[in-house]
Amino acid sequence: MNILNKAMVATLPLVPKPVVRKFAGRYIAGDKLSDAVELTKSLNDKGIMSTIDVLGESIQSKQDATDAKNECLNVLDAIDKHKLNANHSLKPTSLGLGIDYEFCLQNLTEIIKKAYELGQFVRIDMEDSPYTTKTIDLYKELYKNYQNCGVVIQSYMRRSMDDVTELVKTGTNFRLCKGIYIEPKAIAYKGKQEIRDNFMKLLKVMFENNCYVGIATHDSFLIEGALKMIDEFGKKKSEYEFQMLLGVRERLRDKIAADGHRMRIYVPFGTHWYNYSIRRFKENPYMAVYAIKALVTGGR
């Protein structure tokens, strides 16, 4: 069945976007910032935090990057205006990292400076391997003046232990995840268990160095391992949080929150929803089956 589902994913480009959009709705807040605000309010009412992200990654021009920067600034304003229990996540390539490093740094600095003035935190997302070193360099440069930012580490990358060993020296605020981009075996672990094992090794180093960690996973094995490690280190609930994607394992999400652990949900919004949705379908092929079936049956 899994092989069949994965084959279904490969046919998704043939599915009309309105059909994909219907089934992708569980993964995104909507097209507008107001959609993300309302969804965050509903999560906050359940005692769950959010991190709001404007969809859109690699852009083609500096004007596109400037537009993306302005959208990020609008997110910060909305969090402040509505008193949301939320922070902001952003992808450096949306701010011009693939065009000009210094230009991207300038955009990021403006965003993080404003977040600092508003008492907010910004998470700098990690993308695929061509940008790993540049993203960490951006974070280090920004952290010199603004400590209200953190970075993401992916456990499937072979370099991650070296990166963490260096970053813990300054008390980095981490999001730790497995990683989603397709990378060559030379630089990335491929085995399910070796990725898990490295995740736990990285988490241990982060905890040993008293770093705040966003434990970003839907994997029950890793969640159970993290909870055990939290007990072993005697971590206070204010010293870590769990993080999940919108629309994924909601019962487990609610249970973790009900048990008193901090839980943060990734809340993306925007018109550039298609590529993000396809990635989610690849993670959850069963959703692709529903989308293909709707195409074949005309939605019946």
pLDDT tens digit string along 16-53? 777 777 777 888 999 999 999 999 999 999 999 999 99
Residues 6+ positions from 205 with CB-CB distance below 8 Å:
161, 164, 165, 168
Say how many C-beta atoms besides its own lie within 10 A of residue 28's C-beta. Answer: 23
- 93: burial class by Cβ within 10 Å (0-12, 13-18, 19+)? buried
What percentage of the chain exceeds 70 in pLDDT?
A: 87
Mean pLDDT of 140-168: 98
pLDDT > 90? residue 236: yes
Q: Which of 263, 267, 241 is nearest to 252 (CA)?
A: 263
- Assign 47 to helix, strand or coil: coil
295 has a pLDDT exceeding 60:
no
Question: How confident is the model at residue 288, as a pLDDT?
Answer: 57
Q: Are 69 and 111 in contact (CB under 8 A)?
A: yes
Cα–Cα distance for residue pair 300/298, rounded to 1 Å:
6
Task: Single out the catalytic residue among 125, 163, 262, 280.
Answer: 125
pLDDT digits (tens, 9 = 90+) for 213-233: 999 999 999 999 999 999 999
How far apart, in whole angstroms, are the C-alpha atoms of residue 161 and residue 215?
16
Check pLDDT > 90 for residue 79: yes
Sign of CA dihedral 178, 183, 185, 186: negative
pLDDT-derived band at 1, boundaries 50, 70, 90: very low
* HEC secondary structure over 224-259: HHHHHHHHHHCCCHHHEEEEEECCCCHHHHHHHHHC
| Per-residue CA distances from 78 to 33, 81, 149, 192 (Å) | 8, 5, 18, 39
Catalytic residue among 53, 123, 163, 175: 175
What is the average per-residue pLDDT within 67-94? Answer: 97
Please tell me the predicted confidence (pLDDT) of residue 300.
44
Q: How many helices (H) and strands (E) does the chain have?
A: 12, 8
Domains parsed from the chain with CATH numbers: 29-272 (3.20.20.220)
Distance CA 191, CA 195 (A): 6
* Average pLDDT rounded to a whole number, residues 58-70: 93
Is the pLDDT at 138 greater than 70? The verdict is yes
User: What is the rounded average pLDDT of the residues 262-269?
Assistant: 97
- 125 catalytic? Reply is yes
* Per-residue model confidence (pLDDT) at position 221: 98
> How high is the pLDDT of residue 274?
76
Q: Is the overall model pTM greater than 0.85, yes or no?
A: yes
Backbone angles phi, psi at 226, to 5 degrees: -65, -40
- The DSSP secondary-structure symbol of 158 reads T
